[in-house]
Amino acid sequence: MTNNYFITGATGAIGSALIPILLQDPETRVTLLLRAASPEDLEGRLQSLYRFWQIDPADTSLRQRVRALRGDVTLPDFGLESADLRTLAAECTHIVHSAGNVRMNLPIEDARRSAVDSTRQIIALARRCARLAKIEFVSTVGVGGRTHGVVPEEWLTGARSFHNTYEQAKAEAEEVVRVELDNRLPTTVHRPSMVVGDSRNGRIIHFQVFYHLCEFLSGRRTFGLAPNFGGARLDIVPADYVAGVIAWSSRSASSRGRIIHSCSGPALALSLNPLRERVRKAFSLAGRRLPPLINLPTGAFTALLSAASLLMPADARRAVRTLPVFLDYLATEQTFANQRSQQLLSDAGLAVPAPEQYLQQVLGYYLENSRRK
């Protein structure tokens, strides 16, 4: 039987890693929802994805199994034409909702539009799909908010505060899934941690949160001023691992109703001070100029950097203004449980890789493909 996947977030780190895995099965077809200003723009975005996936232009058999629809996941019926929506509902067997705006400092209403409104649209579609076998919702371990200690692999319903609007909106979206689905539809919720490039070669479609953090860790954006991180740790996970988990889950009845933490977990999360040294070494070997570090208490660091930013060019000043978001996130001594998830995934051969196995590839790809300054 042909599997027909409807996928949001195809141009994101997870979605772009997932689709080539799904297409390894010749009986799988995928329909991508892409935001585009025009049909020509839609075709251009699809061609960009083909290039990222390194698909041979002559491989028409594979391209025939990919369809792109122009729409917006936050709009009623995704903004699709009625005929496209009817076809989608009639054919769709699997839904993967991985779309999301990962900016942490959006106004809360914008963040809710991205996370909560899109979730409601996905649920509305799912209820129309006569052949639906499975739904995969991509959330984040950040829904734990300011929880101290270990964030559990279960629904989080207690009152809590959040580091940023991204976490808050994702938590609200999870609550929509919990209340409105309540196991009436075959659903798995995936909570990845901070997603980085492919564990094998470092490739990633966009440089997002982790890479901005590395620029700060290097000292290049802060004139060498560096906060004291203490015992703070960072949980990262490669995109290909998260994608592999989602692909497996979409075909597995055993994941139904489960919350899966795709993360390094307490045993493998990186201590920030050693990570900073790894980042600086990689930057230096790549020929990036680095200032000497001046270690400061966090309060003094923030005050001095705020004053120094007044002398910076506009683009550098905007980058520095995002740093308090990172510092707030990193100030919480928090880890994310993954024991249950690893037990579930062990039979599928999906052991989470240690960051030591892929950090060099991830940093190397970034340094080779980012703008040199």
Q: 90: domain CATH number?
A: 3.40.50.720
User: Digits of tens for pLDDT over the chain (373 positions)?
Assistant: 789 999 999 999 999 999 999 999 999 999 999 999 999 999 999 999 999 999 887 788 888 999 999 999 999 999 999 999 999 999 999 999 999 888 878 899 999 999 999 999 999 999 999 999 999 999 999 999 988 889 999 999 988 999 899 999 999 999 999 998 766 789 999 999 999 999 999 999 999 989 989 998 999 888 888 888 888 899 999 999 999 999 999 999 999 999 999 999 999 999 999 999 999 999 999 999 999 999 888 778 777 777 766 766 776 666 666 677 777 777 777 899 999 999 999 888 999 999 999 999 999 999 999 875 4
Does residue 132 sit within a domain? yes
The position carrying tokens 């980085």 is 196
Cα distance between residue 317 and residue 321, in whole Å: 6
Neighbours of 252 (CB within 10 A): 16
Q: Are residues 156 and 280 in the same domain?
A: no
Cα distance between residue 96 and residue 105, in whole Å: 25
Lookup: tokens for 180: 């409105």
Beta strands at 233-234 and 270-271: parallel, antiparallel or unpaired: antiparallel
Lookup: tokens for 185: 């539809």
Q: Which helix (H) or strand (E) holds 210?
A: helix 209-218
Q: Are residues 299 and 248 in the same domain?
A: no
Does residue 143 sit within a domain? yes
Q: Are residues 104 and 215 in the same domain?
A: no
Asked if residue 120 lies in contact with residue 172, where contact means CB atoms within 8 angstroms, the answer is no
pLDDT of residue 103: 82
Does residue 313 sit within a domain? yes
Residue 15: phi, psi to the nearest 5? -60, -40
Dihedral over alpha carbons 156, 132, 114, 345 (to 10 degrees): 50
pLDDT of residue 181: 76
pLDDT of residue 372: 56
pLDDT of residue 29: 97
Does residue 9 sit within a domain? yes
Closest CA to 52 of 341, 367, 273, 365: 365
Does residue 114 sit within a domain? yes
Q: Are residues 97 and 148 in the same domain?
A: yes
Cα distance between residue 349 and residue 163, in whole Å: 34
Q: Are residues 30 and 166 in the same domain?
A: yes
Q: Which domain holds residue 278?
A: 209-230+271-331
Which residues are 190's β-sheet partners? 138, 260
**Strands annotated E in 98-168:** 134-138, 149-151
pLDDT of residue 302: 75
Q: Are residues 81 and 158 in the same domain?
A: yes
pLDDT of residue 112: 95
Neighbours of 29 (CB within 10 A): 19
Q: Are residues 215 and 112 in the same domain?
A: no
Does residue 367 sit within a domain? no
Cα distance between residue 7 and residue 30, in whole Å: 7
Q: Are residues 138 and 245 in the same domain?
A: yes
Lookup: tokens for 154: 């279960």
Q: Are residues 18 and 119 in the same domain?
A: yes
Cα distance between residue 213 and residue 294, in whole Å: 17
Beta strands at 94-97 and 134-138: parallel, antiparallel or unpaired: parallel
* CA angle (162 as vertex; 233, 76 as ends), nearest 5: 120
What are the DSSP calls for 30-52, one per residue? Answer: EEEEE--SSHHHHHHHHHHHHHH
What distances in angstroms separate CA 215 from CA 140, 270, 320, 341, one per listed residue? Answer: 23, 17, 11, 32
Does residue 342 sit within a domain? yes
Lookup: tokens for 45: 């975005």
Residue 79: phi, psi to the nearest 5? 70, 20
Our count of domains for the chain comes to 2
Does residue 366 sit within a domain? no
Residues present in the chain in total: 373
Q: Are residues 158 and 221 in the same domain?
A: no
What distances in angstroms separate CA 302 from CA 220, 225, 309, 331, one per listed residue? Answer: 15, 9, 10, 13
Q: Are residues 304 and 247 in the same domain?
A: no
Cα distance between residue 130 and residue 352, in whole Å: 35
Lookup: tokens for 156: 């989080």
Cα distance between residue 17 and residue 14, in whole Å: 5
pLDDT of residue 319: 67
Q: Are residues 27 and 141 in the same domain?
A: yes
